[in-house]
Amino acid sequence: MTLKLLTTITLLLYFYKSGAVQYFTDGSDCKRECKWPAEPAICRFNFTLELYYSMSKACYDCPFNITNCDLQDCVPLNGVARAIMTVNRQFPGPKIEVCEGDSIEVEVTNLLGNSEGTTIHWHGVHVRNSPYMDGVPMITQCAIPTHTKFVYSLLVEPTGTHWWHAHSGMQRSDGLFGALIVRQAPLRNPNSYLYDYDLSEHIMIVHDWLDQLTLAKFASHHHDDGSNKPEAVLINGKGKRHEFIDENGQTQFTPREVFEVEQGFRYMFRSISNAITNCALKISVDNHTLLIISSDGAAINPIEVDAYVIYGGERFGFVLNANQSISNYWVRVKGLADCRYVQELAIIRYKGAASEIPKENEDIDRQGKVLNPLNKEESEDNIPIVELTSTDEEDDPALLQQEPDKKFYLAMDFNKVNNYNYHKPEHYPIEQVDRSHHLYSPQFNHISFEFPSSPLLSQPSDNLEEELCTEETFSNSKNCSVEYCQCTYTLTVRLGDVVELIIVDEGVTFDASHPVHLHGQYFRVIGQGKLGSSTSVEEVKQLDKNGILTRTFYQPVKKDTVIVPDGGYTILRFHATNPGWWLFHCHLEFHIEIGMGLVIHVGDDSDLPEIPDNFPRCGSWPQSVSVLKPTEETRCPPTSTGCSVFSNISFYSYCLIVLSCFRYYK
């Protein structure tokens, strides 16, 4: 056990015994005024995961009786009835709201149908000293089997706007997600003077949405020519899509989200993107500018914009100044990229305004100054994320060194190779099927990531060496540019290394963008640029060699999720001070599911905290054979001499025969 972990546990035990640490069996009690010095608490939550249904019997006659849409267990969504997954029959799932210094215990009860395993990832939480709680199946833990329970226990830091979501298969795409907010005392928050209220009611989760279970759409797209485009957008699980006709012939819809404010006050809004497909979302509020003050939970020097674009996994905090006339105003969440044909609206309702929809046209696209634009060159009106600066003036000095300890170039693209999971070269190779049935593989450096057969972190002795690979693994056996290469792609760095990742979206095949997410730590965005409609990792390497790729070291923004522009690059740096196996992947569900990811192995086993007692184990069992069948070792070759009839059966089977005969002749 490391000294740091032992010290932490000792302090927690001391505070707990002395009464300094509060224990809340109902985690909702942890939503309280945060103080400094911190008054740490352990907050207990219970999550029950189920397969459920929107517009179910629990909704009665919603939306004809609009109040029924708010009934217990009613999940109306946008009026489209479909199978979903829920936590505690809520959509989105329960909010976790705690204070700086708090820890959480979350008991997850898996009641999902079809015997699905699950895990929960705490997106944005660094899980230092508790990497086993990161919630990535076959990387940090085994999946939680159906009809069983698992308790996650972790310190929730850093502070800011984060979220939790399932990290197994496509479960988060069907409803297993929710907000995780870690607030701090105002004197600890450098931007707290910019707003008057930070309310739970102003947390906003946005994402694209499908009219069917994601797995069905995924199978249709990857094995046939089904669409991979969404049908709608949701704001806090609400929207207006399906029409209901009442007995008078009037059209009714499920309700949209409403955010209430009072004129003359400034409100902190926390936005989170749970994007599923290649869906960037542009957010704006009619008649209001937005003062962006945080990104991925980390405070930034404020920047005022008319709109901003949020990608899958990202979070932005903004201040809305309620300085307009008392009325109703649209919150516009407009789809871009693959969801450019869909949008959703919510309402900012000033106190005293009538309960009605805003008068402005629903289809207006807000123009003006945009932060984090989609595939656009930097300009006065298009501000890339690299232009943001952190409020943290005491940057980690190691990150400022001219050259990193480790540098990796990562090429991203959709590659035309015979992915044998979806194309069989001997029967229906990608070269022969109709263009609409082509499936290009999203990869890093022409390698598709495959999860290992045993958790890398919690069962290191069970890892199969042949499953892990590096870019050099295939150099003598395959040309991954034309052949399909799949493995547990791994980058290895020493504990304490300064690591630089130059990620290149070559953009040759599709005009797409990939939001990449790193588990376990912040990175700093020190460079970003678009080089054209397409580029190559070789071009970027040459530009870097020639000193043309610029890097900024003045308070670069802290993030854990960032976009890589199509036909461009993003340069990230992080100080590898958190030992473990950390997933780095595209956060679009279809892309990571078929291989756009890798793991970064920081340090070695001696740097890790001890595996928790009774931690679940799992893995492949290729050595398991039926006792009733001969093994290769005991089978007698047909041409052998001196073999008896019993040479072709196992010893255990032989014993069964003898016992059976004994019983028969007894």
Q: Which domain holds residue 278?
A: 191-389
pLDDT at residue 559 is higher than 90: yes
Q: What is the pLDDT of residue 627?
A: 58
Is-contact 568 510, C-beta < 8 A?
no
pLDDT at residue 252 is higher than 90: yes
Q: What is the mean pLDDT of residues 72-92?
A: 97
What does the pLDDT look like over 583-602, one tens digit per residue?
999 999 999 999 999 999 99
Q: What is the pLDDT of residue 396?
A: 81
pLDDT at residue 45 is higher than 90: yes
Alpha-carbon span 576 to 496, nearest angstrom: 5
Kindly state whether residue 141 falls inside one of the protein's structural domains. yes
483 DSSP assignment: S
**29 is written with which tokens?**
């009690």
Kindly state whether residue 96 falls inside one of the protein's structural domains. yes
pLDDT at residue 566 is higher than 50: yes
Is-contact 40 15, C-beta < 8 A?
yes
Q: What is the pLDDT of residue 463?
A: 83
The answer on 128 and 2 residing in a single domain is yes
Kindly state whether residue 648 falls inside one of the protein's structural domains. yes
Kindly state whether residue 613 falls inside one of the protein's structural domains. no
Kindly state whether residue 415 falls inside one of the protein's structural domains. yes
Q: How many residues belong to the chain?
A: 666
Q: What is the mean pLDDT of residues 633-637?
A: 44
Nearest to 374 by CA among 607, 564, 105: 564
Q: What is the mean pLDDT of residues 95-115?
A: 96
Q: What is the pLDDT of residue 465?
A: 84
Instruction: Tell me the pLDDT band of 649, cut-offs 50, 70 and 90.
Output: very low
Alpha-carbon span 642 to 554, nearest angstrom: 81
**421 is written with which tokens?**
């999971």
The answer on 572 and 485 residing in a single domain is yes
pLDDT at residue 570 is higher than 70: yes
pLDDT at residue 646 is higher than 60: no
DSSP line for 83-130: EEEEETTBSS---EEEETT-EEEEEEEEE-GGG--B-EEEET---TT-
Burial of 165 (0-12, 13-18, 19+ CB in 10 A): buried
Q: What is the mean pLDDT of residues 474-497?
A: 94
Alpha-carbon span 29 to 42, nearest angstrom: 10
The answer on 205 and 157 residing in a single domain is no
Q: What is the mean pLDDT of residues 58-87?
A: 97
Write out the H or E segment, with its range, that includes residue 659: helix 651-665
The answer on 446 and 333 residing in a single domain is no
Q: What is the mean pLDDT of residues 338-343?
A: 94
The answer on 256 and 145 residing in a single domain is no
Query: Cβ neighbours of residue 61 under 8 Å, at least 6 residues apart?
Result: 68
The answer on 196 and 164 residing in a single domain is no
Q: What is the mean pLDDT of residues 625-646?
A: 46
Is-contact 370 284, C-beta < 8 A?
no
∠ CA(390), CA(393), CA(399), 5° rounding? 80
Q: What is the mean pLDDT of residues 258-273?
A: 98
Kindly state whether residue 184 falls inside one of the protein's structural domains. yes
Q: What is the pLDDT of residue 625?
A: 58
Among all chains, which residue has been given the structure tokens 């329960």?
94
Please say whether the dihedral angle defined by the alpha carbons of residues 103, 130, 160 and 577, taken in this order, is positive or negative: positive
CB atoms within 10 A of CB 194: 16
Q: What is the mean pLDDT of residues 523-539?
A: 93
Q: What is the pLDDT of residue 217?
A: 94
Instruction: Tell me the pLDDT band of 577, cut-offs 50, 70 and 90.
Output: very high
Instruction: Tell me the pLDDT band of 512, cut-offs 50, 70 and 90.
Output: confident
The answer on 151 and 84 residing in a single domain is yes
Instruction: Tell me the pLDDT band of 15, cut-offs 50, 70 and 90.
Output: very low
Domain of 212, CATH number, reads: 2.60.40.420
Region of poorest pLDDT, from 10-24, 135-149, 486-500:
10-24
Is-contact 281 235, C-beta < 8 A?
no
The answer on 73 and 55 residing in a single domain is yes
Burial of 373 (0-12, 13-18, 19+ CB in 10 A): buried
Q: Quote the number of domains for the chain.
A: 4
Alpha-carbon span 15 to 30, nearest angstrom: 17
Instruction: Tell me the pLDDT band of 266, cut-offs 50, 70 and 90.
Output: very high
The answer on 195 and 180 residing in a single domain is no
Is-contact 348 329, C-beta < 8 A?
yes
Report the SS3 class of residue 620.
coil
The answer on 366 and 325 residing in a single domain is yes
Kindly state whether residue 612 falls inside one of the protein's structural domains. no
Alpha-carbon span 575 to 399, nearest angstrom: 7
Q: Domain ends where: 151, 173, 188?
A: 188
418 DSSP assignment: -
Q: Domain ends where: 337, 354, 389?
A: 389
The overall average pLDDT reported for the chain is: 90
Q: Domain ends where: 172, 188, 204?
A: 188
The answer on 202 and 171 residing in a single domain is no
Kindly state whether residue 617 falls inside one of the protein's structural domains. no
Q: What is the mean pLDDT of residues 203-223?
A: 95
DSSP line for 213-279: -HHHHHHHHHHSS-----SEEEETTB---S-EE-TTS-EE-PPPPEEEE-TT-EEEEEEEE---SS-
Q: What is the mean pLDDT of residues 250-272?
A: 97
Indicate whether this model's pTM tops 0.85. Answer: yes
The answer on 466 and 423 residing in a single domain is yes
**Bridge partners of residue 442, in order along the sequence:** 414
pLDDT at residue 620 is higher than 70: yes
Is-contact 161 204, C-beta < 8 A?
no
**What is the chain's alpha carbon radius of gyration, rounded to the nearest angstrom?**
27
